[in-house]
Structure 1
């Protein structure tokens, strides 16, 4: 939640002291400040912060983050706003009070930077009489905006500053030195700001250029709003600061440049610079003067940008030619990260709208358009060509839904629904949209409930509770841990289902009440809440796919290099890192159990242990051959190479449970000791601490060298052996031993389940589900949940029974 969104949740004139869902509110004031007394502000601030600290100590959550909201009130009758003298007092109070949990400061629509003569007579009367000393103090502090901001945001040895959100929208920073003060703070590199809003704050060209240049040294600012500068810039000046802003910065993810009078030439320069700023995820160019030429350049840049997910070009005149360019983005064969596209009031005719609608309906858009969540098109012309296409997009059961919305409201959904908003009148939301969401959520919950209350699940839960109540349970620690882990997983699932059903019923009742009272705000909240319920139900249904008794267990992931020589060894190391990062993100305990180093780089083989609930259930679909295409770093000629690695996944056997216990006789084992290989220090290569165990009846060989203790390595190797033997037992029960061997195939060409292409283009594609992802860096960093979920859902959709032997 951004600071701006947070502020909108509260009445502007009210004073609230409490705890929200995510952040503490220190205080919000409208008619609170004394006009000139520093001591009054300091004492009020200290008293309020102390009261909040006392209140937080009584809560169970104890969230540390706090927001100070001092937004000026524009409603009639409330005219007291923060001015320069109060900003100085606020800086002094913060230095005195030392509130390290303060992470946000909202000073929107105050009088910062304004001269005394700029304050209206009506406001002066509201403030009341001040003595001559007070007037002299105010004149003295009139231009102290810069130093006050510096004191607020610049950490010192005596002042801990963690203010990450700062909103100065609607002040007059450009009329003093406030704009240059902001630039100096950003350029210093020590300011902790991550979100800065200085839109509509009187910035002139020199302020904009200074801020753009300051971003060169800044590595923390991620969101920047520079909307509506008070002095309109020339084309050359706009190109100058836009180019500097994007060319030198490498961390900015959110940039808003609305109402800058940007033309096609400026948009073309911006399009060229977009690729220099790879992390950018949101770009707002609303209400400029961009036409079809600039729109085409921006659309072409979006096709190559790896992260741009939200783009707002509303209130420009791009016309049908611009719509055609964005249709190309929607039809692209390569998947783009675009999630939200706003083309409201962009002079589109019926032909242009039909072009966009056709782009969304094309079969080749199945992959590229799968990320699109929000398509905003109201304020344009709809006719006989567009209307049938829109109805086809929004047919019942489809992913597109139609909402009528007000022209100043930007609706958002929290799940993967795609929003086509094209009506210029009406009310949001419609009864049909809520009914559709409720229907989907109800069907999901019914399926989940049927699975959870099934007889075999109820019987297993009763048995586990009986075992957990046994006073002798912990005589066998391994068995106790298995029982407790499985019981916790089943009880947590049962609790989530009941809570989800309760939320569903409460939301339906609240919507009926909001409809009777004609409360549009509450109806919007109900739509968002029902969408969240549906999203949670989908996630829980996905987890129920992991219904096999072994799915809840920890697992071993074994990766072996295949065809490709040194590149395949390096590819094995890359996969090991990917699965380790993925496991850590899912809060599994990740351990490298065994490593066999390659001759030049990487590993010939590596074994990871993922310890946590449902580790095997989530990881099992990764079993198979993985293919990598890239320019080899080991080829001096810089040629493209293809390499392979095979992944196998084994569930850990649960000891102590009679039906799953794996009997291992010592006479069937050959145990060898050897010295650990690879880099190490004095002890690691000087003793025979590594263990290799061969199971003679089956020929299975396991080894462990991760620990300095031979005993612990032996225990780890025995756990791996039991896991492999248990896997074999599952295969025999499913009569899938041969299918298992054939399913993985040779560790070479033609058997890959997934391809990772890094050259000549970038794409990761799963050949089983046809799901693809163009952001290869994120995938190799462990972001593989989408691939796993698609595979699990495909298995359910095809009614294929979960055969353990075919997945590992």
Structure 2
């Protein structure tokens, strides 16, 4: 999803946005400067300055031109398709009695609004690409300023970012891919390092949501007696969140290899479950009252502050053994509604995964063995690597991933899912 990184001799995005490594840039001295500060402030001679300026301008111009070319190839076709889709949606609204079924009306109007938003964004993207192209042409005549070139570079980043999302959204066609997502993270209980690892994973998903321009909500959080994280639930209320993150389900292991060759690697484990979060609609699955067992825990283990009065609701689905709970709402009634919605969402995913049409066809215990399926390894020492076992993709640096840069992993998973479907 993110464009491939340039060679290290070129500018990276952060350096460019901050003006660093620009030929005329000179860092300000700090009070705690070390012996190398003086050398770093010495200006380059004219030949070197000219060389680095030409090299930097060439690399940036190449990235801008690549983005413009991509927009010229994809945007017109995409805009034509989305405009036609929007016209069809307008026809549906004109021919539909909005007062006849308010629920259906809201769904129709939401689709119309989404369609209009995509059309507007594609038009804006086309304008940005044309603007960036004009600036690069002026750059060949040395007729632009640094600020103009920075504007073109920023526009090219926006173009690539939107086209990445647009192309990926067209690949997310499975049921519930367009829904929001509820992420449930659980550490291996009794292991302090695993509990800390679960917290890192929760922060990783929150940072990923922030990168997408949205805010995730931690709606539930359970701490162990030593204050570490045992379990957390995060709700992401934006379109395609489930489609992006469905590949995160399974066990995530953080591996710390010892310097000693005789010592075994130490692994911290945490399980991740992802279920659809229905935002504009509700999960359509009838559940019989006699098939569920509802309990109201009076306390939460390791949470003394909740031991007096608790509104927590726990639901056990007897035919399948699936268990869900909700504690984030203020009343038992609200928690019961949310727990039932989570149960329906989990059962719908099981129906899809097992290719069956009825809940009675789901084998008991199908969703309870969550610790037997490893999804991803994060290796910290001696080599640093993230290995996604679902897609087979490997990435050489752990830090960007833990800082929320999941886009390459998500893209690899969606591509592998499309490949397996095609086969």
TM over 0.5: yes
Q: Is the 8 A contact 2:180 2:240 kept in 1?
A: yes
Query: Which residue is 1:582 aligned to?
Result: 208
Question: Partners in 2 of 1:565 and 1:409 — Cα distance?
Answer: 49
Q: Is the 8 A contact 1:690 1:703 kept in 2?
A: yes
CA-to-partner distance for each residue in 1:433-458, whole Å, 9 max, x for gaps?
95x76543333325635764687x87
Structure of larger gyration radius: 1
Query: Which residue is 2:172 aligned to?
Result: 546
Query: Which residue is 1:704 aligned to?
Result: 326
Q: Which has the higher contact order (CA 8 A, sep 6+)?
A: 2
Structure 1 residue 664: deviation in Å? 3.1
Structure 1 residue 772: deviation in Å? 1.0
Question: Partners in 2 of 1:563 and 1:646 — Cα distance?
Answer: 11
Distance change (3 Å), C-alpha of 1:595 and 1:661? same
The answer to whether residue 409 in structure 2 is matched with residue 787 in structure 1 is yes
Q: Secondary structure at the match of 1:782?
A: coil
Q: Secondary structure at the match of 1:747?
A: helix
Question: Partners in 1 of 2:56 and 2:183 — Cα distance?
Answer: 49
Query: Which residue is 1:221 aligned to?
Result: none
1:257 to 32, 41, 48: 41
Q: Secondary structure at the match of 1:674?
A: coil
Structure 1 residue 692: deviation in Å? 0.8
1:725 to 344, 347, 351: 347
Query: Which residue is 2:199 aligned to?
Result: 573
Q: Is the 8 A contact 2:129 2:156 kept in 1?
A: no
Q: Secondary structure at the match of 1:644?
A: strand
Distance change (3 Å), C-alpha of 1:691 and 1:528? closer
Question: Partners in 2 of 1:464 and 1:685 — Cα distance?
Answer: 53
Query: Which residue is 1:410 aligned to?
Result: 57
Query: In the TM superposition, what are the counterparts of 1:39-78 in structure 2 within 5 Å?
Result: none
Query: Which residue is 2:238 aligned to?
Result: 612
Query: Which residue is 1:499 aligned to?
Result: 124
Query: In the TM superposition, what are the counterparts of 1:75-114 in structure 2 within 5 Å?
Result: none
Query: Which residue is 2:78 aligned to?
Result: 448
Distance change (3 Å), C-alpha of 1:503 and 1:586? closer
Structure 1 residue 626: deviation in Å? 1.6
Q: Is the 8 A contact 2:209 2:216 kept in 1?
A: yes
Question: Partners in 2 of 1:534 and 1:561 — Cα distance?
Answer: 39
Structure 1 residue 673: deviation in Å? 0.9
Distance change (3 Å), C-alpha of 1:742 and 1:534? farther
Distance change (3 Å), C-alpha of 1:468 and 1:564? farther
Question: Partners in 2 of 1:511 and 1:196 — Cα distance?
Answer: 26
The answer to whether residue 390 in structure 2 is matched with residue 770 in structure 1 is no
Q: Secondary structure at the match of 2:35?
A: helix
Q: Secondary structure at the match of 2:251?
A: strand
Query: Which residue is 2:371 aligned to?
Result: 747
Distance change (3 Å), C-alpha of 1:241 and 1:569? closer
Runs of at least 5 residues in structure 1 that lack an aligned partner in the other structure: 1-163, 171-194, 199-210, 217-239, 247-254, 260-285, 289-313, 316-341, 346-375, 377-405, 418-432, 633-637, 803-808
Q: Secondary structure at the match of 1:650?
A: strand
Structure 1 residue 629: deviation in Å? 0.7
Structure 1 residue 710: deviation in Å? 1.6
Q: Is the 8 A contact 2:68 2:132 kept in 1?
A: no
Question: Partners in 1 of 2:208 and 2:285 — Cα distance?
Answer: 29
2:183 to 557, 561, 569: 557
Question: Partners in 1 of 2:106 and 2:61 — Cα distance?
Answer: 37
Q: Is the 8 A contact 2:131 2:152 kept in 1?
A: no
CA-to-partner distance for each residue in 1:97-125, whole Å, 9 max, x for gaps?
xxxxxxxxxxxxxxxxxxxxxxxxxxxxx
The answer to whether residue 250 in structure 2 is matched with residue 621 in structure 1 is no
Q: Secondary structure at the match of 2:204?
A: helix
The answer to whether residue 135 in structure 2 is matched with residue 488 in structure 1 is no
Distance change (3 Å), C-alpha of 1:720 and 1:623? same
The answer to whether residue 275 in structure 2 is matched with residue 642 in structure 1 is no
Distance change (3 Å), C-alpha of 1:672 and 1:484? farther
Distance change (3 Å), C-alpha of 1:772 and 1:498? same
Query: Which residue is 2:4 aligned to?
Result: none
Question: Partners in 1 of 2:238 and 2:67 — Cα distance?
Answer: 34
Q: Is the 8 A contact 2:249 2:274 kept in 1?
A: yes
Q: Is the 8 A contact 1:485 1:613 kept in 2?
A: no
Q: Is the 8 A contact 1:702 1:721 kept in 2?
A: yes
Q: Is the 8 A contact 1:755 1:766 kept in 2?
A: yes
Query: Which residue is 1:215 aligned to?
Result: 32
Q: Is the 8 A contact 2:224 2:302 kept in 1?
A: no
Runs of at least 5 residues in structure 2 that lack an aligned partner in the other structure: 1-17
2:276 to 651, 675, 679: 651
Q: Is the 8 A contact 1:554 1:615 kept in 2?
A: yes
Q: Secondary structure at the match of 1:575?
A: helix
The answer to whether residue 35 in structure 2 is matched with residue 241 in structure 1 is yes
Q: Is the 8 A contact 2:244 2:410 kept in 1?
A: yes
Corresponding pairs, count: 390
Structure 1 residue 651: deviation in Å? 0.9
Question: Partners in 1 of 2:26 and 2:164 — Cα distance?
Answer: 36
State TM-score, norm by structure 1.
Answer: 0.40
CA-to-partner distance for each residue in 1:562-587, whole Å, 9 max, x for gaps?
59955434433332232233334435
The answer to whether residue 95 in structure 2 is matched with residue 470 in structure 1 is no
Structure 1 residue 766: deviation in Å? 2.8
